[in-house]
Amino acid sequence: MPFQQLTTERTLIRRFRAEDVADLYAIRSDPTVAKFQSWEDINEEALRHFVQAMHEATPGTPGEWFQFAIALRTTGELIGDCGIHILAEDSRLGELGYTLGRRFQGQGLAYEAVAAILTYVFTTLNLHRIAAIVDVRNRSSVKLLERLGFRREGKTHQAFWNKGEWVDEYLYAMTGRRWAALAPIRAAAVQQHGRTKTQVVLLGTGTPNPDPERHGSAVAVVVQDNEHGKKRRSQAYLVDAGPGIVRRAADAATRGIDALAMPRLTRLFLTHHHSDHTAGLPDLMLLPWVLERNETLVIYGPVGTQAMVDHLLAAYAEDIRERREGLEPSNDQGYRVEVHEYEAGEIYRDDLVRVEAFRVQHGSWPAFGLRFTADDRTVVISGDTRPFAELATHYQGCDVLVHEVY
């Protein structure tokens, strides 16, 4: 049966139409979108011929690419495309490519559309295996492939010439059997789609031993509010403050995670007081303030957190005085710290997330793991702990588990 269209919750996958040329040109001529793509010198006349060819093409033809147009269901606006190339030498093997306009990235639309297309090619076109080749610098594309369940099979070094330089590429692949086996996970992901979008950012995964490749223990749970009709907002909930936390957060902010920008670092949860989990605390208390944080830093931690913060503020009292009263005074709020000492149970709740603490076994003092529950998913962070019988009960039903293995 000739291909007509596919639909997902938010996208429409269809053939290209003549009226798509202007939108397609806007997408492909965007330097940010084209950065890791092979095309150059895009012009509307060439795209007009391309659109006509794709309108008449048949998906699954050996030796040819077929580009699916991806549009919004609500407006019909073209937002990108996805191509499948069937190998001439074996029509059971294919290659995947995709492009999404900059305005539509970071919203899960690519995942939604590409997943529907993969289901189509594996079930209707009966492909056995799909490969995808991606520039190693294209982190968004790598993240999408791995979220879809593709396996990384290899890496080529300086084997592809693109826009004036030799680049490294990853090879990813998916088989029809694996795609079918992952169906329950995809179904769960669809059910989780809701008011929030939650991601986990590993800011530091080092041990107490110095390692130039790893920073001290720190994790960010970032929750974005996707409620329809509201301006998007997001909040980062930091867990532990090992050495380097502020600089790693700044690096993540430059990569598009706005909630980790310096002025927005306002929520911290400490699992325990070992120095490799807290040595970055003075930096977190003071540097974001110097860089325009004008809100109080709120810290949740075990018994002893208040004393730790009081001593740090006393140690830096002269620095704080100079920055408040000097030639270029900082604001009078951002260095302040509000401490809440907690025991096991629910310790925090706002309109984006609920946080529960559970006891773990790590030394003779209070130590905790944390469970973050947002509308779309649940994240559990074990904290430092040894194995014990009840530990796994705290992980039941979570979507993401960050567990120490030191």
pLDDT exceeds 60 at position 276:
yes
The pLDDT confidence band at residue 106, using thresholds 50, 70 and 90, is confident
Q: What's residue 85's pLDDT?
A: 97
pLDDT exceeds 50 at position 229:
no
Q: What's residue 191's pLDDT?
A: 52
**Mean pLDDT of the region 330-337:** 92
As a whole number of angstroms, the distance between CA 217 and CA 362 comes to: 15
As a whole number of angstroms, the distance between CA 169 and CA 159 comes to: 8
Residues listed for the chain:
406
CA of residue 197 relative to chain centroid, distance = 9
Question: What does the buried/exposed string (b/e) look like for 311-345 if buried means 16 or more CB atoms within 10 Å of the residue's CB?
Answer: ebbeeeeeebeebeeeeeebeeebbebebebbeee
**Mean pLDDT of the region 75-103:** 95
Q: Which of 1-5, 20-24, 141-145 has the highest mean pLDDT?
A: 20-24
Q: What's residue 147's pLDDT?
A: 87
Domains and CATH numbers, the chain: 5-191 (3.40.630.30), 194-402 (3.60.15.10)
pLDDT digits (tens, 9 = 90+) for 6-29: 999 889 999 999 999 999 999 999
**Mean pLDDT of the region 45-52:** 94
- Annotated catalytic residues are 276
Q: What's residue 228's pLDDT?
A: 43
**Mean pLDDT of the region 299-309:** 98
pLDDT exceeds 80 at position 111:
yes
**Which of 365, 375, 373, 374 lies closest to 395 in space, CA to CA?**
373
Residues 6+ away with beta carbon under 8 Å from 222: 198, 199, 200, 201, 234, 235, 236, 237, 257, 259, 260
Q: What's residue 230's pLDDT?
A: 47
Alpha helices in 29-138 (DSSP H): 31-34, 44-56, 109-123
- Of 146-160, 214-228, 359-373, the one with minimum mean pLDDT is 214-228
The percent of residues above 70 in pLDDT, for the chain, comes to 96
**Mean pLDDT of the region 325-346:** 91
pLDDT exceeds 80 at position 190:
no
Reported in sequence order, the residue ranges of 176-319 that DSSP labels E, i.e. its strands, are 196-204, 218-225, 233-239, 267-269, 297-301
Which tokens belong to 43?
Answer: 């012009």
pLDDT digits (tens, 9 = 90+) for 162-180: 888 999 999 999 999 999 9
pLDDT exceeds 80 at position 2:
no
The alpha carbon dihedral of 11, 17, 19, 20 has a sign of: positive
